[in-house]
Amino acid sequence: HISDFKKYTVEDFLELEDVGPKVAGSIYQFFNNEDNIAMLEQLEQLGISLENKKKQHDTIGGNLAGKSFLFTGTLPTLKRTDAEEMVELNGGKVLGSVSSKLNYLVAGEEAGSKLEKAKKIGSVRIIAEDEFLKLINK
Determine the pLDDT at residue 1: 64
Percentage of the chain with pLDDT > 90? 49
Pairing of strands 104-107, 93-94: unpaired
Q: Give the Cα-Cα-Cα angle 81, 86, 91 (nearest 5 degrees).
A: 130
Segment 104-123, tens digit of pLDDT: 999 999 988 999 999 999 99
Identify the three-state secondary structure at position 106: strand
Res. 132: pLDDT tops 60: yes
Determine the pLDDT at residue 12: 84
Res. 59: pLDDT tops 60: no
Domains of the chain: 2-46 (no CATH), 68-137 (3.40.50.10190)
